[in-house]
Amino acid sequence: MLLRKILISTAAVFFILFNTALCEEYSEYKDKKVSIGLKLGTNSNYNADSDYKDFWQPNVNWTRFWPREASYEYKLNEKIGIELALGYSTLDGDSHSILSAGDSSKTDLANIFFSPSAKIYFPLKNGFSIYGGLGPDLIDSMGDILYDDAQSYRKKSKVSKWGYGAHGMIGAEYYFFKNPGAHNFYDWPVSLELQYKYTWAVVSKLDKKLINDINTELGTSHSPNDINVGGHLITLGVKWHLF
């Protein structure tokens, strides 16, 4: 329900920006190729299937709030750009009655991701544009996984493992401060960017150490599990166009 509301709201904003852009004149003032940006947003991947989710059975939505992302972009021309993004997000969830009645588990992860993208822009009018893009992802997941059988066994495993994936995106950009140099600021035009991105990203056998310990201690034969740390990401950001 939350994800549906977010997607509907995002679609409404894109519609408003698109119609506003068509009604105003386009001025060709952008000649800067290099920009840097900062983004904040919300990400939900509670529908993402993975062995990890099936095994540990989290009973809450796996939701990452306020992921942060910094980006560097080089535009080859007005319509094609290459973006390098470095981001940080968290992922946590609790579960109960996993292997036996009364036991529990808690996952607490931090994800650092590197996401290069090829982007194609469609300029509209008066500093508006829409774009689409895609690219690969490299993710470092680190944190703790705790298992408690509610009797005599309690184990916390520290994890740090690399994963990989791919993403696709759509977005809208609006230059709201086009000529800061005329106002005695640095000549770095500033734009707002609204972006939706879907990422498929897997970290293989994240819980291997903990599963091996459980098997040894409890005499079980469970297999380690892959985890999907991707999902639906919606961000709002600011970009400074340097030169």
Residue-wise pLDDT tens digits, 82-141: 999 999 988 778 888 888 888 999 988 889 999 999 999 999 988 899 999 999 999 999
- Domain hosting 203: range is 2-241
Tell me the backbone φ, ψ of residue 6, rounded to 5 degrees.
-65, -45
* pLDDT tens digit sequence for 22-50: 444 435 457 889 999 999 988 776 445 67
Which residues 6+ apart lie within 8 Å of 46 measured at CB?
A: 3, 61, 62, 63, 231
What pLDDT sits at residue 14? Answer: 52
Where is pLDDT greater, at 163 or 19?
163
Q: What CATH number should be reported for the domain holding residue 204?
A: 2.40.160.20
Q: Across 76-189, where does the E strand assignment appear? A: 80-96, 104-123, 128-148, 154-177
Where is pLDDT greater, at 1 or 109?
109
* Residue (of 139, 122, 123) closest to 233 by Cα position: 139
DSSP symbols for 138-166: EEEEEEEEEEE-SSS-EEEEEEEEEEEEE
| C-alpha to C-alpha distance for 183 and 79, rounded to whole angstroms | 28
| C-alpha to C-alpha distance for 190 and 177, rounded to whole angstroms | 5
This prediction has a pTM of 0.81
| C-alpha to C-alpha distance for 129 and 134, rounded to whole angstroms | 17
What pLDDT sits at residue 213? Answer: 94
What pLDDT sits at residue 172? Answer: 98
For residue 36, the number of C-alpha atoms closer than 13 Å in the C-beta half-sphere is 5
Number of independent structural domains in the chain:
1
| C-alpha to C-alpha distance for 159 and 206, rounded to whole angstroms | 7
Six-digit token pair at 184? 């005695």
